[in-house]
Structure 1
Amino acid sequence: MAEAVSHKDGIGRQELLTIRRRFLGLHRERLRMIARELTPNQRAFVDLLPLLFHINHPTLPGFTGSDTPIGIPDYAPTQAVLRLARKLSRSFEYKKRARRRFFIQALYLMGSIGSIAHTSGSDFDIWLCHDPELDAAERDLLRRKAIKIEAWGKELNLEVHFFLMDVDAFRDGKLDALSHESSGTTQPHLLLEEFYRTGVLLAGRYPVWWLVPPEEEGDYTRYVRMLFHKRFVDPLDCLDFGSLQSIPVEEFIGAAHWQLFKGIESPYKTILKLLLTEAYARDYPTIRWLCQETKRAIYSGDFNLRQLDPYVLMYQRVEQYLQGRGEPERLELARRCLYFKSEQTLSQAPLRLREDWKREVLQTLAQGWGWGKGVLVNLDSRQSWKIDQVMDERNNLARELSYSYRLLTDFAREYASTETIDPEEISLLGRKLYTALEKRPGKIDSINPGITRNLYEERIALHYARTQGDQYAWFLYLGEVNEQAARVTSPLKTAACLSEVLAWCHLNRLINLNTIITLYPKGNPVRPDELFAILGTLNRIYPPHETTSVPMTRLKQPPYALSCTLFLNTGIDPMAHLAKLGKQLTTERSDPLSFGAAHSSLVETVEQLITTSWGETLVTCHQGTRGLLESLCHYLRMALQGEAMRSPPRATAHCFNSVRGGSTAKRVEKLFNDVLHCFSEAGSGLNSRYLQQIEDDFYLIHYQNEKFSYFPLAGEQEALDILAEPQRSFRPTIIDSLSLAVTPLPCIMRLNRAGAIQVCYLTHKGRTELYILDEHGALFHQQMQEADEHYLLVQQQRFLKGMLLLRSLSLPGNQPAHRYLLDAPEFYRLERNRDGDYVAEPRTPPRHRLPDSYMELRLISEGLDLNQAPHLLVCGDREFSSLEYGAGLYGAVAQHLLEQRIGHKAYPIYLTSLELSGIGSEEDASTIQLLKFKKRLEGRLNQALMKIRP
Structure 2
Amino acid sequence: MDTRQETAANAFQQKISRYLRYNEERKAKAMLFDAGQGLLLLKVLPYLLHCNYPDLPGFVDDADCPYGLHRYNPKTEFPQELFRRYFPNSTAIRADSPSSFTKKPCIHSLKTIGSIGTIAQSIISDCDYWVSIRKEELGEKGLSLLQKKCRIIEDWALKRGSEVHFFLVDIDQTKENNFESETSENSAGSAIKLLLKDELFRTHILVAGKMLLWWFIPPGLSENEYRNFVQNLVAHNRLCLHDFIDLGYLSDIPKAEIFGACLWQINKALDSPFKSVIKLAYLELLLRGETTTLPLFSNRIKCLVTYPEKLSAAEQSAMALAKIDPYILLARDIIAFYTQDRAGQKWAPLIRECLFLKTLEGVASQKNTRPGHDNHLKATMGMMQAWHLLPENFTHFLHFRDWKYKELVAFGAKVHDYLIETYKRLRWIFKSFSADTGLTITERDISILGRKLFTFYEQKDHKIDYIRSVSRDLMEQENLTIHITRHEGSFNYYAFQGQLDHDSMKSHIGSMIKREDNLIRLIVWLLVNGILSAKTQIHLTKNFVPIDLADIQKLTELLIKTFPIIHFSRISPANLLKRETVLRALVIVNFKKEPVKGAKTLKSIIVTENSYGEYFIQEYTTVIQLKNAMRTLLTQHYVSRWNNNLEIFIPAQDEQSYIKTLIEG
Task: Bin the TM-score by the shorter chain.
Answer: 0.7 to 0.9
Question: Aligned residue for 1:431?
Answer: 451
| One-letter code aligned to 1:460 | H
1:103 counterpart (103, 106, 109): 106
Change (3 A) 1:606 1:20: same
Question: Aligned residue for 2:337?
Answer: 321
Question: Aligned residue for 2:312?
Answer: none
Structure 1 contact 20–211 (Cα < 8 Å) conserved? yes
1:31 counterpart (27, 33, 43): 27
Query: Residues of 2 paired with 1:515 and 1:355: CA distance?
Result: 32
1:386 counterpart (382, 385, 404): 404
Structure 1 contact 465–474 (Cα < 8 Å) conserved? no
Question: Aligned residue for 2:540?
Answer: 516
Q: Which residues of 2 match residues 544-559 of structure 1 at below 5 A?
A: 547-549=564-566, 552-553=571-572, 554-555=575-576, 557-559=578-580
- 2:303 matched to 1:296? yes
Structure 2 contact 559–586 (Cα < 8 Å) conserved? no
Question: Aligned residue for 1:561?
Answer: 582
Q: Which residues of 2 match residues 138-217 of structure 1 at below 5 A?
A: 138-172=142-176, 173-176=178-181, 179=184, 182-217=187-222
1:252 counterpart (246, 251, 258): 258
Structure 1 contact 125–160 (Cα < 8 Å) conserved? yes
Change (3 A) 1:227 1:516: same
Segment drifting more, 143-152 vs 543-552:
543-552
Question: Aligned residue for 2:521?
Answer: 500
Query: Residues of 1 paired with 2:374 and 2:571: CA distance?
Result: 43
Query: Residues of 1 paired with 2:638 and 2:446: CA distance?
Result: 20
- State the Cα deviation string for residues 386-419 of structure 1 (Å, max 9, x = none): 3222222332333333333333444433336444
Q: Secondary structure at the residue paired with 1:528?
A: coil
- 2:246 matched to 1:240? yes
| One-letter code aligned to 1:285 | T
Structure 2 contact 328–384 (Cα < 8 Å) conserved? no
| One-letter code aligned to 1:205 | K
Question: Aligned residue for 1:281?
Answer: 287
Question: Aligned residue for 2:617?
Answer: 619
Query: Residues of 2 paired with 1:250 and 1:69: CA distance?
Result: 39
1:69 counterpart (43, 66, 80): 66
Question: Aligned residue for 2:552?
Answer: 535
Query: Residues of 2 paired with 1:25 and 1:219: CA distance?
Result: 30
Question: Aligned residue for 2:479?
Answer: 456
* Deviation, structure 1 residue 213: 0.9
Query: Which runs of 5 or more residues in structure 1 are unaligned?
Result: 1-7, 467-471, 520-526, 576-586, 593-601, 672-950
Greater C-alpha radius of gyration: 1
Query: Residues of 1 paired with 2:466 and 2:58: CA distance?
Result: 38
* Deviation, structure 1 residue 198: 0.8
Query: Residues of 2 paired with 1:450 and 1:424: CA distance?
Result: 29
Segment drifting more, 303-312 vs 217-226:
217-226
Q: Secondary structure at the residue paired with 1:32?
A: helix
- 2:352 matched to 1:335? yes
Change (3 A) 1:370 1:79: closer
- State the Cα deviation string for residues 305-331 of structure 1 (Å, max 9, x = none): 354201101211220222133444432
* Deviation, structure 1 residue 138: 0.4
Query: Residues of 2 paired with 1:155 and 1:637: CA distance?
Result: 35
Structure 1 contact 260–270 (Cα < 8 Å) conserved? yes
Structure 2 contact 59–149 (Cα < 8 Å) conserved? yes
Q: Secondary structure at the residue paired with 1:275?
A: helix
Structure 1 contact 150–161 (Cα < 8 Å) conserved? yes
Query: Residues of 1 paired with 2:48 and 2:199: CA distance?
Result: 26
Structure 1 contact 474–501 (Cα < 8 Å) conserved? no
* Deviation, structure 1 residue 117: 1.2
- 2:125 matched to 1:118? no
Q: Secondary structure at the residue paired with 1:276?
A: helix
Larger RCO: Structure 1 or Structure 2 (Cα < 8 Å, ≥ 6 residues apart)? 2
Q: Secondary structure at the residue paired with 2:477?
A: coil
Question: Aligned residue for 1:359?
Answer: 378
- State the Cα deviation string for residues 582-613 of structure 1 (Å, max 9, x = none): xxxxx9xx8x7xxxxxxxxx237654322334
* Deviation, structure 1 residue 271: 1.9
Aligned residues, how many?
620
* Deviation, structure 1 residue 642: 8.0
Query: Residues of 2 paired with 1:603 and 1:139: CA distance?
Result: 59
- State the Cα deviation string for residues 234-284 of structure 1 (Å, max 9, x = none): 332222223334545553344234333433443332221122122122226
Change (3 A) 1:566 1:204: closer
Change (3 A) 1:516 1:643: closer
- Aligned-pair identity in percent equals 22
* Deviation, structure 1 residue 144: 1.6
Query: Residues of 1 paired with 2:461 and 2:241: CA distance?
Result: 60
* Deviation, structure 1 residue 615: 3.7
Query: Residues of 1 paired with 2:649 and 2:103: CA distance?
Result: 67
Change (3 A) 1:647 1:322: same
Structure 2 contact 353–390 (Cα < 8 Å) conserved? no
Change (3 A) 1:649 1:161: closer
* Deviation, structure 1 residue 422: 5.1
Change (3 A) 1:567 1:412: same
Question: Aligned residue for 1:900?
Answer: none
* Deviation, structure 1 residue 168: 0.8
Change (3 A) 1:244 1:371: closer
Question: Aligned residue for 2:313?
Answer: none
* Deviation, structure 1 residue 17: 2.7
| One-letter code aligned to 1:141 | L
Q: Which residues of 2 match residues 841-920 of structure 1 at below 5 A?
A: none
* Deviation, structure 1 residue 108: 0.9
Structure 1 contact 463–476 (Cα < 8 Å) conserved? no
* Deviation, structure 1 residue 423: 4.4
Structure 1 contact 609–619 (Cα < 8 Å) conserved? yes
Change (3 A) 1:537 1:614: farther
Structure 1 contact 126–163 (Cα < 8 Å) conserved? yes
TM-score normalised over the length of structure 1: 0.56
Query: Residues of 2 paired with 1:411 and 1:333: CA distance?
Result: 22
Segment drifting more, 236-245 vs 207-216:
236-245
Question: Aligned residue for 1:92?
Answer: 93
Structure 1 contact 267–450 (Cα < 8 Å) conserved? no
Query: Residues of 1 paired with 2:65 and 2:364: CA distance?
Result: 46
Segment drifting more, 420-429 vs 94-103:
94-103
Query: Residues of 2 paired with 1:100 and 1:648: CA distance?
Result: 47
Q: Secondary structure at the residue paired with 2:135?
A: coil
| One-letter code aligned to 1:640 | Q
